[in-house]
Structure 1
Amino acid sequence: MSAMDAERDLIATACRVLAGRGLADGILGHISLRMSEDTLLVRCRGPRERGLAWTEPDDIRLVHFDGSEAADGALNGYQVPNELPLHVAVLRSRPDVAAVVHAHPAQVVAADLAGIPIRPIVGAFDIPGAKLAAGGVPVYPRGVLIRNRSLADEMVDAMQSRPVVLLRGHGLTSAATTVQQAVLQAVSVDGIARLSLQIRAAGGVLADLSAADMAELPDLGSGFNTGVAWQHEVARLGS
């Protein structure tokens, strides 16, 4: 398997993970990976589209940032996402980022519309998620399809340098150095949103973890936080 084929297989698996976690039900959502200064691999919609849960490596196509084929036949009947500008704007503005996830997790949307921010309400339950939330998860306040550069730049401005931004009435965008990390960040944000809704529904009050407890949370390292966690997500697909 070539390096390009391996990356396409990874992105296809990541799309199935998003669907398996309920973050990308149906046909909406996409993942991209920077390949060069002006090309990316991205999940496209093909002639046999069945949804993210059934994404195959063939659904991952190599295109230029403007959406054109990066090589003759690179699209071969596939269509790039309408929101390709979302991916491109993040990659252009964030040299530290290689992978972008855009998904539509219903519980994240519901929590935001209910006025519930993503905050560090958990501790050792999800250490990476707690630390991500403690840094703040901003919100892009427009529920629009991000299909042009102007809207994409607005989203990036709202995102600032954070790993995740919520898109009001829409979903979220997660950015990271790897596809695995970008997906796992989205999973963590979704988990906190679900807990927040459950706590509020039970009549509880949300409270951030104390500074003392945050300081006690160890960094278990990428081998555990990303490596082992990703193995689990892939294993879930076969369960």
Structure 2
Amino acid sequence: MASQDDPALKQLYRTFITGCHILHYHGVLDAYGHLSARHPSKPEIFIMSRYIAPGTISSERDLIEYRVEDAEPVDPGAPKGYSERCIHSELYKRYPGVQSVIHSHSEAVVPYSISGTKTPIFDIAYHLLPTDAKDMLVRNTHLGAALAACFSDNNDENHDPTDTTPKHAVVLMRGHGFTTHASSIQECVLRAIYTQKNAGIQTTALITHNAFFKGGIEADAAEIKYLDEEEAAASTEMTKWSAYRPWGLWVREVEAQGMYVNQV
């Protein structure tokens, strides 16, 4: 994939590789999980890395172009890629405004996918065909499409089937992890990192509340006060224009580490 004649594509590659390093540095991705980005001038194509750990991606040679239509590589001779790339292709297919997607198995977030939460949860068990392996992996387009639909609340009786704007920023995946999206790599990385951070904060709040109020059995036990819908919506808008502030810090952090290499 040559980018010498396309400055926008070269910049995307560099940002993509740095994004993978940042996600690894912050523990959102380890040897597993993945980032993707839509091609800057060919919306029918998206980019992921080959089948290696995100923290070790280092050059253009590690990147593969895939068709949004079927998640197959543009180059039939491309190296092996991730088996769950249909998570990404189906989000790009359903939502034209989505420019970047992250799938993570964050240990801080997974408990909320099996313990109950108001966050949308994709349960793969409801969508498996008899020929699908029950290994929790979203490895084909019909499973990817089912996950993508969870971002729009398809079961909501007021859902508009023509609406191509995702309602939710994050969907949990039962016993597996979470997926998030955004209009840029920088914003997507921010969402993924703070999904993990917020899960850690919520866990601490629940433990502290349980310990202080003895499991809520005391008559004067206070309820945990979460953000209301208006506060959450305003906070979401705020993060869109503030995403580049932490990005600059995170870039400096990974540049200062000896293990991360970005040759683009």
- Same fold by TM (over 0.5)? yes
Query: Which of 174, 182, 185 is 1:176 aligned to?
Result: 182
Query: Which of 226, 230, 243 is 1:226 aligned to?
Result: 243
Q: Residues of 2 paired with 1:189 and 1:222: CA distance?
A: 14
The 8 Å contact of residues 139 and 159 in structure 1, kept in 2 or not, is answered as no
Instruction: Note the alpha carbon deviations across 1:16-61, whole angstroms, 9 max, x for none.
Output: 11111111112x111111122421111221xxx3x22222133222
Q: Indicate the residue corresponding to 2:10 in structure 1.
A: 5
Instruction: Note the alpha carbon deviations across 1:85-123, whole angstroms, 9 max, x for none.
Output: 111110010011111111111110023323345xxxxxx
- How far does residue 83 in structure 1 lie from its aligned partner after superposition? 1.0
Higher Cα radius of gyration: 2
Instruction: Note the alpha carbon deviations across 1:119-164, whole angstroms, 9 max, x for none.
Output: xxxxxxxxxxxxxxxxxx3111237210111111111111212121
Aligned length: 211
Q: Indicate the residue corresponding to 2:148 in structure 1.
A: 156
For residues 71 and 141 of structure 1, do their structure 2 counterparts lie closer, same or farther at Cα, with a shift above 3 Å needed? closer
Return the letter of the residue paired with 1:31: L
- How far does residue 70 in structure 1 lie from its aligned partner after superposition? 2.5
Q: Indicate the residue corresponding to 1:98 in structure 2.
A: 99
Q: Which runs of 5 or more residues in structure 2 are unaligned?
A: 126-135, 153-165, 211-222, 258-264
Q: Which runs of 5 or more residues in structure 1 are unaligned?
A: 118-136
Matched residue SS, 1:146: coil
For residues 214 and 22 of structure 1, do their structure 2 counterparts lie closer, same or farther at Cα, with a shift above 3 Å needed? closer
Matched residue SS, 2:181: strand
Query: Which of 206, 211, 215 is 2:224 aligned to?
Result: 206
The 8 Å contact of residues 67 and 89 in structure 2, kept in 1 or not, is answered as no
For residues 213 and 24 of structure 1, do their structure 2 counterparts lie closer, same or farther at Cα, with a shift above 3 Å needed? closer
Q: Indicate the residue corresponding to 1:25 in structure 2.
A: 30
Matched residue SS, 1:63: strand
Q: Indicate the residue corresponding to 2:123 in structure 1.
A: 141
TM-score by length of 2: 0.71
RMSD value, Cα: 2.6
Instruction: Note the alpha carbon deviations across 1:181-204, whole angstroms, 9 max, x for none.
Output: 111111121111101111222234
Q: Indicate the residue corresponding to 1:128 in structure 2.
A: none
- How far does residue 220 in structure 1 lie from its aligned partner after superposition? 4.9
For residues 217 and 152 of structure 1, do their structure 2 counterparts lie closer, same or farther at Cα, with a shift above 3 Å needed? closer
Deviates more, 1:195-204 or 1:93-102: 195-204
TM-score by length of 1: 0.77
The 8 Å contact of residues 164 and 172 in structure 1, kept in 2 or not, is answered as yes
The 8 Å contact of residues 44 and 60 in structure 1, kept in 2 or not, is answered as yes
The 8 Å contact of residues 100 and 174 in structure 1, kept in 2 or not, is answered as yes
Q: Residues of 2 paired with 1:209 and 1:177: CA distance?
A: 24
Is 1:63 matched with 2:66? Answer: yes
Matched residue SS, 2:139: coil
Q: Residues of 1 paired with 2:13 and 2:233: CA distance?
A: 38
